[in-house]
A = this chain, B = another copy of it.
Amino acid sequence: MDHNPILVIGGGPAGLEAARGAAELGYKTLLVEKAGVLGGTPIQADYAALTPDMENTEVAMKRMTDAVEDDPLVDIRMETVVTGASGEVPDLTVTLNGPSGEEQVQVGSVIVATGFQHFDPGRETQMYGYYEYDDVITLVDTERMLKAGNFVRPSTGETPKRVCFIQCVGSRDRQIGNQWCSKVCCGIACKEAIEIRHMVPDCQVFVFYIDMRMYGFWEDEIYWKAQEESKVSFIRGIVTEITKRGDTVVVKGEDTTKGRPEEVAMDVVILSVGKEPSAGTVQMAEIFGLPLESHGFIETTGGALNTVATSVPGVFAVGASVGPADLEDSVSSAGAAAMKAAGFLRKHALANA
């Protein structure tokens, strides 16, 4: 079948699966990635291991990148961004800007897989002290240290004795305008807590949370293991302030189970930062004329029963470009979009045959 390629924008887990899937169905695919490396946030942000299986990120993502790199139906453009679009699918003209300059290509369908960005804990509020105190870090900073095999107090390079996670930083928070739950931070915090306890067995680890959202099998596969095997302490509480006393970080708040104020000293405080739509997601929404939903992600129009359709027929959005997503959400929705993009082109080919 002769057709314009399916354009997949973004080379993270969702984009890689969408491109591979469309090619598996025999459809030409054009995969565009703005960075110099495939793998998306798990690779670019140096994730140590993936949730929930704790598989090494490099190993897991290499399987996905190999699959598209080995497939002659996938044309990969690195360090390339989409800067414009005109016309309509299945004969949409898209402008790409890459290492060899600007180029116009015809595409038959579009799958937006431009993902999320992590909440900046210094934005809107200084209450977390992220930019003031070296020993206040994020989930992402922690992944980097875990991947390097060296979890230390950033201020001293010493092995920490007491570490805590603070959940819902930049999530479930009307003050800063992010009213949604970012879905994966509870699981990632549990995973990192277990990894820290393995790497630094003498270190006590605490998690301050509102609700532990360990849905499905994460409940016993990560959450119970964190408590029972790794002896991580989970404390239901609200953190109101982070300050410094001497060389320790002091976390002030309320233990909402005991119903009393708490003040605890920590060597390292890890902020469980949430998910926001990435700049790329917002840009692609503008270029392809896709409305954003109330939280600022790309709006899907199929309700619960069609997770990837946008208001533009033939243009699909997957993974965290449409809202907080775990890896399963990303690859499942990407697979569904590969099917729908291929189905869209097939329908047009049949209509013109």
Which A residues form the contact surface with B (CB < 8 A)? 13, 17, 21, 24-26, 50-53, 55, 60, 63-64, 171-172, 179-183, 211-220, 224, 236, 256-259, 293, 295, 303-308, 323-329, 331-340, 342-343, 346-347
Q: For A346, what are the chain B residues with a Cβ–Cβ distance below 8 Å?
A: 24-26
Give the complex CA separation of A332 and B306 in angstroms.
Answer: 8
Closest to A182 in B: B216
Q: How far is the CB of A318 from chain B (nearest CB, A)?
A: 9
Given A25-B25, A307-B331, are A323 and B51 also a contact pair (CB < 8 Å)? no
A55 touches B327 (CB 8 A): no
18 contacts between A and B (CB under 8 A): A21-B339, A24-B339, A60-B303, A60-B305, A179-B224, A181-B215, A181-B216, A181-B219, A211-B211, A215-B215, A217-B324, A304-B326, A304-B328, A307-B328, A308-B335, A332-B332, A332-B335, A332-B336
Specify the chain B residue showing the minimal Cβ separation from A260: B259
One complex includes copies of this chain to the number of: 2
- For A340, the chain B residues whose CB sits under 8 A away are 21, 24, 335
Give the docked Cα–Cα distance between A217 and B325 (Å). Answer: 11
Given contacts A180-B216, A213-B215, 11 further A-B contacts (CB under 8 A): A17-B305, A21-B339, A24-B340, A24-B346, A52-B304, A63-B305, A180-B217, A180-B219, A181-B219, A258-B259, A339-B339
A216 contact set on B, CB distance < 8 A: 180-183, 323-325
Please, which residue of chain B has its CB at the minimum distance from the CB of A60?
Answer: B305
- Residues of chain B within 8 A of A325, CB atoms compared: 216
Task: Output the residue of A52, A53, A180 with the most chain B CB within 10 A.
Answer: A180
The answer for the CA separation of A171 and B223 in the assembled complex, in Å, is: 14
How far does the alpha carbon of A308 sit from the alpha carbon of B307 in the complex, in Å?
Answer: 17
How distant is A312 from chain B, measured CB to nearest CB, in Å? 18
- Chain B neighbourhood of A213, CB < 8 A: 211, 213-215
CB pair A331 B305 closer than 8 Å: yes
User: Which B residues touch A295, using CB under 8 A?
Assistant: 217
